[in-house]
Amino acid sequence: MTSHETWAYSRKSPAPPRHTYAPRYRREIDGLRAVAVLPVIFFHAGFVAFGGGYVGVDVFFVISGYLITRILQDEIARDAFTLAFFYERRIRRIVPALLVVIAFTAPFAWAWMSPQQLEDFAASVFSVALGLSNFFFLSQVDYFSPNAELQPLMHTWSLAIEEQYYFLFPAALYLLRKLRRPMLFAVLLVGVCVSFAICLWGMSENPARNFFFTLSRFWEIGFGALLAVGLGARDRLGEGAVAGAFAGLGLVLIFVAIFLFSATMPYPGPLTLVPVLGTGLVILFAGPATLVGKLLAARPFVGIGLISYSAYLWHQPLFALLRLRSVHDPSPEALVAVAVASLLLAGVSWRFVEQPLRKRRGLFGARPALFGAAGACFVLLISLSLAGYLAKGVPARFDAGVTRYLSAATDRADRGDGCFFDLNHDLPRQPVPGCAHPDAKARMDVLLLGDSHALAISEAVGALLERRGIGYYDVGYGGCIPLPGFHRVDLGPAHRCAAFDTSVLDYAAQAGVSTIVLTARYTLYLEGHRYDNGEGGREPGADAYIDVLGKAGGVDDPERRARVLRAYEAQIRDLAKRFEVVLVAPVPEPGWNVPQVGFKHALFRGRDSVVSTSYAGYQARNAEVNALFERLAAELARVRLVHTAEAFCEAASARCVNADAQGVYYFDSDHPSQAGARRLAPLVVEAIEGARAAIRP
């Protein structure tokens, strides 16, 4: 990532002993850095074609391991190696530009970040100063999640891994200096294999954390070290047609990873071998006479390669700040402009920050002055970041008119009574203690059943039921449609939705429950894809879809969709033979995180800005499900439908409100907050009372 050594010695450096190899500068490796950094930038810009652009970091890892191992080998052979000199070079190479980028980012973070975001930013600065940012992000964020896009220093995870590697490797290489080359190669190979095995284990245990884990990544840098040791005194292996073919194959492998990989693939893991081996082939075979060598040694590639470290440093903060400042998703034009700006700033940074401070002259020419200045800067960083973290992001920066939106993130139902389950729980035995209201001895007339949307409205609905003296039983299961006979294809057999539904409904029948209220994301489970509101908001998360038991169609399989829709009707008709059924239609989905978008509206557009989405979008999204429910409610006397749009949408304005001066009605991108539930609850209770009235003698 950071390694860009010139392999040149000053006049004061000891001259290499006779017959000792001194490594030479290879322009094509600088060109290879351009091939690595540009896809990373384009990936973070969200360009679909560069779905695997994140593999540029793997290319950097291999290059770094190769170059620094060659330099260390040469210094050890010349008896010129010292840890102090090694770390001096690393500080001159890494620290100045990094400090400039952090100093540039901090004022914008202060002005634009919410308290929680600023608290996280402060913690990330603290971890960067300690060289442990990969562990911070390992515990905080999935690299491929939308939240990662708002982390200005998220990309420093790779710098941390390199620094952790080079904290150990130079001393180890020095201690092993007397080993013959085959034996040293074997020792390194064992280390690489152990790290790769840890990577494979981590991929199955926790892929999100595995991405940032040090030992899951060491093998990539170690692979570059293997190349250096294996080459010995040679720069590369051959120059002929065979070398050209292998170099071409290497470049093809890198391009395959960049353009054919995606964020949904398990990574790192076996797939990581593709860009790693491709980089190795280019390093081994791309000589000046090969086509690949000539291409990578061309001035544009070399120029971008020279500034690649600064480009890598600048791109993520700029993209994150753009997204923080944008109320909705930035336009493609804005993202392109930021990508270009990152390269321009990289050129300035390389010329006026990197280059001057890499030379041992001027204010920080002496090693003690350099170490002292670097230490002072990191102490300052640690102090300021710790202060920001302990102050919890300094919420006093904003008035209540702004922060009220953020408080909605915690305005959610929290029964705390063990009545809501998911795939991480064993199936409960019915009845579940504490889930009958007002108490277990009261007659239960109503069952509230569903997924997390049922949980979101349960407290508000329950409060109204209790005021009317209506007893109810309230349970739910995350991501579970409250109709028997279905399974979540994307979650597998661990998600025991069908068994949960059957046990609850059987208990309800035995307990004399007359009315069941079914609330769920019926459209999501049918469609499979998260909601895109067409206005810059798309709900994060993977596809979530169901099929009938015994079937497992694909998310876009029209036969699956038709089968599920038919089964919806059959199951509801069957339940209507046993109970009065209240169907709660799908709640309008905002698509964007309402507290965050509301915060931005208040900050950038005025305190009382209304956050809303298209009513037509809701209608189009839920057309099939709502049409089915309306038909069943019209045909079956024992089925009633709650039109949730009546609580949030207005035909006159053609908008569905997410937040306004009276409240913030969602706590994320789809779940109603308590304020939102209070808008919807009266409609649900009205339908319940209508159902109960129909069965009275």
**63-74 pLDDT, tens per residue?**
999 999 999 999
Residues 474-489 pLDDT 10s: 999 999 999 999 999 9
Q: Do the domain assignments include residue 19?
A: no
Residues 134-164 pLDDT 10s: 999 998 888 988 888 999 999 999 999 999 9
Provide mean pLDDT across the span 661-667.
Answer: 93
Q: Mean pLDDT over all residues of the chain?
A: 91
Residue 417 and residue 391 share a domain: no
pLDDT of residue 605: 81
Angle in degrees, CA 75, 80, 84, rounded to 5: 100
Residue 143 and residue 40 share a domain: yes
Alpha-carbon distance 644 to 624, whole Å? 15
Residue where a domain stops, chosen among 346, 365, 396: 396
pTM: 0.84
Residue 435 and residue 385 share a domain: no
Q: Do the domain assignments include residue 35?
A: yes
Task: Give the chain's length.
Answer: 697
Residue 209 and residue 181 share a domain: yes
pLDDT band for 296, please (50, 70, 90 cuts). very high
pLDDT of residue 23: 62
Report the number of distinct structural domains present in the chain. Answer: 2
pLDDT of residue 336: 95
Q: Do the domain assignments include residue 258?
A: yes
Residues 318-352 pLDDT 10s: 999 999 998 888 889 999 999 999 999 999 999 99
Residue where a domain stops, chosen among 396, 421, 441: 396
Residue 346 and residue 295 share a domain: yes
Identify the residue with better confidence: 218 or 329: 218
pLDDT band for 236, please (50, 70, 90 cuts). confident
Provide mean pLDDT across the span 27-32.
Answer: 95
Residue where a domain stops, chosen among 396, 421, 442: 396
Residue 196 and residue 267 share a domain: yes
Q: Do the domain assignments include residue 481?
A: yes
pLDDT of residue 418: 84
**Is 398 in contact with 414 (CB distance < 8 Å)?**
no
pLDDT of residue 17: 42
Q: Do the domain assignments include residue 658?
A: no
* β 472-477/515-519 pair status: unpaired
Residue 430, domain CATH: 3.40.50
Residue 370 and residue 456 share a domain: no
pLDDT of residue 363: 61
Domain carrying residue 221:
28-396
CA distances for 100 relative to 128, 162, 414, angstroms = 13, 20, 44
Residue 387 and residue 437 share a domain: no
Q: Is the pLDDT of residue 19 over 90?
A: no
Identify the residue with better confidence: 606 or 384: 384
Q: Do the domain assignments include residue 122?
A: yes
> Do you find a cis peptide bond into 433, omega within 30 degrees of 0?
no
Residue 240 and residue 358 share a domain: yes
Residue 535 and residue 390 share a domain: no
Q: Is the pLDDT of residue 391 over 90?
A: yes
Q: Is the pLDDT of residue 473 over 50?
A: yes
CA distances for 258 relative to 146, 377, 398, 581, angstroms = 20, 37, 42, 51
Residue 94 and residue 33 share a domain: yes
Residue 367 and residue 513 share a domain: no
Residues 672-691 pLDDT 10s: 999 999 999 999 999 999 98
Q: Do the domain assignments include residue 654?
A: no
